[in-house]
Amino acid sequence: MAFGRTSRLSAVIAAATLAGTALLSPAGEADAAGTGSGKDAQRKDAVATGFGGAVTTVDADATAAGLEMLRRGGTAADAAVAAAAALGVTEPFSAGIGGGGFFVHYDASSGDVSTIDGRESAPAAATPELFVDPETGQPLPFDEARVSGLSVGVPGTLATWDEALGRWGRYSLRHTLRPAIRLASRGFVVDETFRSQVEGNQDIFADFPASAELFLPGGELPEVGSRLRNRDLARTYRQIARQGTGAFYGGDIGADVAATVQEPPVADDADRVVRAGSMTEADLAGYEAIEREPTQTQYHGLEVFGMGPPSSGGSTVGEALNILENADLSAADEASSLHHFLEASALAFADRNRYVGDSDFVDVPLAELLSQGFADERFCQIDPEQAAPKPVGPGDPDGDYAPCGDVAAVGGAGEEGMSTTHLTTADRWGNVVAYTLTIEQTGGSGITVPGRGFLLNNELTDFNFAPTQGEAPDPNLPGPNKRPRSSISPTIVLDDGEPFLALGSPGGSTIITTVLQTLLNRLDLGMDLPEAVAAPRASQRNTPAVTAEPAFIDSSAGAELEAMGHDFEAMPDIGAVTGLEFLGHGLVQAVAEPQRRGGGSAAVLVPVGRR
């Protein structure tokens, strides 16, 4: 089959040895040992192949932090937490302890896949009218909702780390935070991506003194090549290392978070309207990271595991794969395969928007959404020669399926931030982690907690601001302690019970289509994992136009798809995948983006040729 790995094993080893693929650079090794030398001092390798475990992230410092834990005998969970903490320093606009995420873990000793829901939750005082202007009765403009205390959900990142380490780690937070503490104290070298992300938030950061002090030194954008230190975050991490997560969930760090949400510290000369939120210390003290059942579906005999509600990632990727199980994509030409990918994505998104929300508060028909019978009914609505007008309506997952069943009224989708970050790790024992974490928009709410060195999320803007389903119940309206729907899609694929692939991506609702397209590239379209990650992307989320990268639009397949009725809207980059492929006999290939978002960083503990 197209995804067979045994036949590729000797070729991958030979290619890696001849090319010296992904030998950890001397600077990378030094930084893992504690120099904190910064991004520009390390080579970013997009592909690494070897033994003993692997780490792949968007950032060389974070990858080095994860490798340090593997080198010390840590597990995949230890490496994931260390890497995530480092991303809170170097990628603070996408990750950090002011946010949340979803953690998927494969346990080599039991063969079980488990998931942790560390999604941010609404405060107890939240109502369905959270983002409705009480004076006009209309939903708030998105930017006004984002840059406010209203948008800040109770952060779940630290609770996720604590739960993961308690279950699957060999080290405590006291040890796994050490690389990030060094990095925050000694600083890292600002690159062009970091500077551009500050520039995109410059007007917002300037209105909050703590954000301006950290990210706009002297009132100016940080210079590329300059060193940025975050001593406040280093002190915050040290306190958590000493006192545990109780310092955040019920302690004085949490008190500072609640105070910042309730009274956003706006500059005296700012003319921005910044609404207060209702989060309390009790909301923080009551937060729990929740173990959820993973989603599971079969595709070409492989088991595909993902994240269940309140994430829509696992259900939507899984439903689309089930739909596409009816099409022989590996035998089709490229344009036909991509046409089916786009049409299946639109159908799955219609069902996502109609049915998926926080399953603790709404009845999500998850088993039916992931049933093959429902997928078969949806598949027969795909015209193999012509794109359907979008948006399409959702199906009826009622358990009574017939070919080409009627569809319901069309449902809409809410706003979802494009920023986030994903990391993937494995250890010498065969444990695997796929972990996606976020603070929502690039820069989150824009509000840094004074004296603490981290930004607060704007995750609650993932709720729908007003009902979008007509007379049908809306599963994604705000409510007390409710978690907003997410598109985060950390994914682990097993082949006969053993890890085969692990991957994920940032990108808001494009996360789902990015993960789906990468899987199809690898499993159906004859690409190896580096090719599957690098290939041009398109995203159909049940919208009139397909969002696509220019290289996709300009390709021959893009032209054929346009002739089939697909309209395109260009986006420079979609997603930023990191992933692992397990090649057998202990060999693992780590892959990161070669170009998008400045390129990622993949490394293995023992590169091929050094064993």
- The pTM assigned to this predicted structure is 0.92
Residues with pLDDT less than 50, the chain = 1-2, 6-41, 407-418, 611
Written as one string, the DSSP assignment of 197-216 is: HHHHTHHHHHTSHHHHHHHS
Q: Which of helix, strand or coil describes residue 71?
A: helix
**What is the DSSP code (8-state) at residue 451?**
T
The β-bridge relationship of strands 47-57 and 421-427 is: antiparallel
Q: Tell me which residue has tokens 């039916």.
A: 368
Residues 6+ apart with CB under 8 A from 411: 350, 353, 354, 391, 393, 394, 468, 469, 470, 472
* pLDDT attached to residue 609: 62
Q: Give the pair of three-digit tokens for residue 209.
A: 């003194």
Question: With b meaning 16 or more CB within 10 Å and e meaning fewer, what string describes 323-341?
Answer: bbbebebeebeebbbbbbb
* pLDDT attached to residue 38: 39
CA distance 421 to 100: 11
β-sheet bridge partners, residue 101: 118, 437
**What is the DSSP code (8-state) at residue 142?**
H
- Strand locations in 444-600 (E): 491-495, 498-504, 538-539, 546-548, 568-570, 578-584, 587-592
Find out whether 117 and 292 touch, Cβ atoms under 8 Å: yes
Order across the sheet with 538-539: list the strands: 538-539, 546-548, 568-570
Q: How far is CA 10 from CA 17, 190, 498, 500, in A?
A: 11, 40, 19, 16
Segment 519-549, tens digit of pLDDT = 999 999 999 999 999 999 999 999 999 999 9
CA distance 349 to 513: 10
Tell me, what amino acid is at 272?
R
CB-count burial class (<10 Å; 0-12, 13-18, 19+) for 29: middle
Active site members:
420
* pLDDT attached to residue 3: 55
Q: Give the pair of three-digit tokens for residue 127.
A: 């109502």
Question: Which element (helix H / strand E) includes 2?
Answer: none
Find out whether 322 and 151 touch, Cβ atoms under 8 Å: no
Count, residues in the chain: 611
CA distance 27 to 96: 25
* pLDDT attached to residue 468: 73
> 507: closest CA among 408, 416, 572?
416
Ramachandran assignment for 425, one of left (phi > 0), alpha (psi -120 to 50 degrees), beta (any other): beta
Segment 444-480, tens digit of pLDDT = 999 999 999 999 999 999 999 988 766 678 999 999 9
Alpha helices by DSSP H, listed for 147-265, are: 157-168, 173-176, 178-186, 192-200, 202-206, 209-215, 231-243, 252-262
* pLDDT attached to residue 330: 86
